Amino acid sequence: MQRHTVSSSRINTVGWENNVLEIEFLDGSLYQYADVSIAEYDNFLNSASLDSALSRIEIIHHYYRV
């Protein structure tokens, strides 16, 4: 999955493919979030705070460390 660098205090890169959101944190850990729609991904990228938006995604979607 191709990821893009973002400006965040915790997140280094993000990517989305086939309803899977992939996030690489600044510490190098990599997580995938299941069943994330393209609309949710777009909302996430356009949010004022990626950290706050991620907290909301973590409540709704299953995720695991890769």
Number of domains in the chain: 1
The per-residue pLDDT for 26 is: 97
The per-residue pLDDT for 39 is: 97
| Cα(27)–Cα(66) distance, integer angstroms | 14
* CA distance readout (Å), 63 to 5, 37, 48: 20, 14, 22
pLDDT in tens, 23-51: 999 999 999 999 999 999 999 999 999 99
| Cα(47)–Cα(45) distance, integer angstroms | 6
Task: For the chain, count helices (H), then strands (E).
Answer: 2, 5
Domain interval for residue 44: 4-65
